[in-house]
Amino acid sequence: MLKKAYFYLLILAGLVVLAPGCKSYQKVLKSPDNELKYTTAVDLYESGHFKKALTFFDLVRTFYQGTKKGENVTYYTANSYFQIKDYQLASYYFKQYQQMYPRGKMAQEAAFLQAYCTYLRSPRYELDQSISYQAIDELKRFISNYPNSSKVAKAKELIAQLNYKQEEKDYNIALLYYKMGSYEAAITSFQNLLDDYPDSKNKETYLYYIGKTYYDYAEKSIPQKQKERFEKMVEAYNNLLYLYPDSKYLKELKPLSEKAMSYLK
């Protein structure tokens, strides 16, 4: 019972301590003193109270626009949204900072963080990848504008991740075509994967599916079309054998290639 009473006293004490602070913030919000609002916003920002800080930054943004404090307000606003994981608004204000203060001390940082926010908004590979393309463009622009930045390596890494996400989407589309028996679409899709992602770590898999798809396609084709498709299958097998002599797929494709070659004799 005493423990419970002590617990309630602690809560009450906390409320008493907080109440004056809440009242003082309300007083600052209503005050005509923009300097007081600015210093309050910065104090809140620096202490990690980003949502509260945003309330005050919104009040003084127009008043300080074009000044050194206005530069701080714009950057702090952007970074506050970044810290609370509102990446869309963070990106907007990082872009605004660059437009309004292109020579500002945080211009390079703002350019990277704008692109990074767009990267963070990129959805799963199954969904529309328009935002991913936007992020790639922004990251490439950052690299072009700041080639000596220490963040160039990170920007390239993010671009690679976004490209892989698109590759994964394209691969699953190609695989779906194959499973559906849409062999022409599957072959075109797997070939596009080889062309679009020449350095892909999955190149071996794409070559395998081209050979396998051509074999299945040939088997189900009318006799007049089989010769050409079996030839393509053998060609795909030989490409795989040449590029990946130890490929795990050769065990499956070798007998299929031999069957195709026996048909061609």
pTM of the entire structure? 0.79
Residue 155: the pLDDT is 98
By the 8 A CB rule, do 213 and 190 touch? yes
- Name the packing angle between helices 50-64 and 68-83 (round to 10°): 150
Instruction: Copy the structure tokens of residue 54.
Output: 């945003």
Q: Which residue has the tokens 């991740």?
A: 161
Instruction: Copy the structure tokens of residue 230.
Output: 């079996």
When the candidates are 3.10.180, 1.25.40, 3.40.50, 1.10.3470, the CATH number that belongs to 21-100 is: 1.25.40
By the 8 A CB rule, do 190 and 216 touch? no
| Helix, strand, or coil (residue 113) | helix
**pLDDT mean values, one per 10 residues, the chain (265 residues):** 42 37 68 87 95 94 93 97 98 97 96 98 93 97 97 97 95 97 97 95 96 95 92 95 96 94 85
Instruction: Copy the structure tokens of residue 254.
Output: 């070798």
Residue 104: the pLDDT is 94
Residue 22: the pLDDT is 52
Residue 263: the pLDDT is 85
Amino acid at 86: D
Within its chain, how far is the Cα of 79 from the centroid? 18
Residue 13: the pLDDT is 38
CATH 1.25.40 range(s) for the chain read 21-100
